[in-house]
Amino acid sequence: MFFSKQQLQDFYPKIEKITGFQKRIKIFDVDFEKPWWHIILRQKAVVIPQILNEIFLNAFLVLIPLFLVQIITAGRVDYFLIFAIVWAVMNLIPWFVFLSFYAPMVSQSTQSIYYSAVKYFLTVDPIFHATKSSGQIIAKVTRGSEVFEDLIDRALFDLMKIFVGLITTIITFIFLEKSFAVLALISYLIIGYFSILFRNWATKITVPKFIREDDIKKEIGAESLSANGYIRASFATPEQVLKIKSKSYKNALVLSNMWFSHMSGDMVVRMLYILSFSLIGLFAFYKIEQGFDPILTGTIMLTYYFGSRDLWTFGRFLGKFLENVQKLEDLFSFIRGFGKQSYPVLETDLPKVKS
C-alpha cells in the first residue's frame, strides 16, 4: 500500500480545491407542479455541451473500423498516428465536459429534489400529515430523489450512445452503399418498435405494484425503528419481525416478476437483432458475388455491428429508464395531492414590506 488510510483521506481537501465545485453547485427550489424534466430545461446551458460531446464521441467510435480500414489500405503510418492522437483527444474532452458541466448539474439537481421535497413536507399544514404514514413519505422522497441521477445518466449516456450509433451507421451506409442503409433503417425501426412496446407493457404492469409494495415495506421498517421502545415494551417484537419478513418477501416476489417481464421482452428483441445482423450478412455475401469490394463489405459489416451493438441492451436501458421515470413521477404526483400550506412557516413565506 503506497498511502495510509489517513493520507488518502487528507487528499479530499485538495480535490475540492481542484474541482472548485463549491462555487458552482447551488441548491434550488423544485416546482413539483411542473413536470420532472423541467429541472433539466432550467439547466439547459450545462446540458447542451454534454449532449454535443456524446454525439461527437460516439460517432467517432462507430467509425473506427472505417477509419482503420482506410488507413491500412493506404499504408500510411502518419495517418495512423493522427488517428491515435484524435482518439486520445476525443476521450479527454468528456473529462473536461464532465468536470465543467455534468457533475455539478446532476449532483445539485438530485439534492435539490430531496431538499425541496423535505422542505415541502415540513411546511405543509400538520393536518395533512395526520392521515399519512411517515414511512411512506420517507420511501417516496428517498426513492424519487435517488433515481434522478440514474435517469439522467441513462438518457445522456446510454440513449445518446444508441441513437448516435444508429444515425451514424445509416449516414455512413448512404455514402458507401444505399441498399445497406435501407436494410439497416428497416431493422432499426422494427427492433426499436418492439423494444418500446414490450418494455412499456412490462413497466405499466409491474412498476406500480413494485412501488406500492416498496412503500409498505419501508413504512413498516420506519415504524419498527422509530417505535422500537414501544414495540419492545409491549412485547410485540416477534409479530413485528414476522410482518417485516412477510413484506420483504412480497417485495422480492414483485421485483423478480418485474425482472422476468422485462427480460422476456428483451429476449425477443435480442432475437430480432440477431436476425437483422444475419440478413445484413447474407445480403453482404450476395453483393460480393455481384462484384462488390469484399474489403468494403467487411467494413460495412463491422460498422453495422459497432453502430448497432447497443441495440442488444436497448431493452434493458429502456426498462430502467421507464421505471425511473415512473418512480420520479410518483414522488411528484404524491406531493401534488398531499396537501397545502395555508399560513407562513418560513421567513421567505412572509410578504415583503417596502422600506
Instruction: Return the HEC string of the chain.
Output: CCCCHHHHHCCHHHHHHHHCHHHCCCCCCCCCCCCCCHHHHCCHHHHHHHHHHHHHHHHHHHCHHHHHHHHHHHCCHHHHHHHHHHHHHHHHHHHHHHHHHHHHHHHHHHHHHHHHHHHHHHHCCHHHCCCCCHHHHHHHHHHHHHHHHHHHHHHHHHHHHHHHHHHHHHHHHHHHCHHHHHHHHHHHHHHHHHHHHHHHHHHHHHHHHHHHHHHHHHHHHHHHHHCHHHHHHCCCHHHHHHHHHHHHHHHHHHHHHHHHHHHHHHHHHHHHHHHHHHHHHHHHHHHHHCCCCHHHHHHHHHHHHHHHHHHHHHHHHHHHHHHHHHHHHHHHHHHHCCCCCCCCCCHHHCCCCCC
For 322, the domain range is 31-340
Q: Do the domain assignments include residue 1?
A: no
Q: What is the mean pLDDT of the chain?
A: 79
**24 lies in some domain:** no
Within a domain: residue 17? no
Least confident of 170-174, 272-276, 309-313: 309-313
- Supply the pLDDT for residue 232: 65
Q: What is the CATH number of the domain that holds 261?
A: 1.20.1560.10
- The 10s digit of each residue's pLDDT in 163-187 is 888 888 888 888 878 888 888 888 8
Look at residue 68 in the predicted model and tell me its pLDDT.
82
Residue 97 lies in a domain: yes
Q: What is the pTM of this model?
A: 0.71
> Residues 186-198: pLDDT tens digits?
888 888 888 778 8
Mean pLDDT, residues 92-111 taken together = 82
Q: In this predicted structure, which of 1-5, 154-158, 186-190 has the lowest mean pLDDT?
A: 1-5
103-139 confidence digits (pLDDT tens): 888 888 888 888 888 888 888 877 777 777 777 787 7
Residue 293 falls inside a structural domain: yes
Task: Provide mean pLDDT across the span 144-149.
Answer: 83
Q: Looking at the domain assignment, is residue 10 inside a domain?
A: no
Structural domain contains residue 19: no
pLDDT at 350: 60
pLDDT in tens, 315-348: 667 777 878 888 888 888 888 887 777 766 666 6
Average pLDDT over residues 268-281: 84
Mean pLDDT of all residues in 206-221: 78
Tell me how many domains the chain contains.
1
Q: Residue 204 domain-assigned?
A: yes
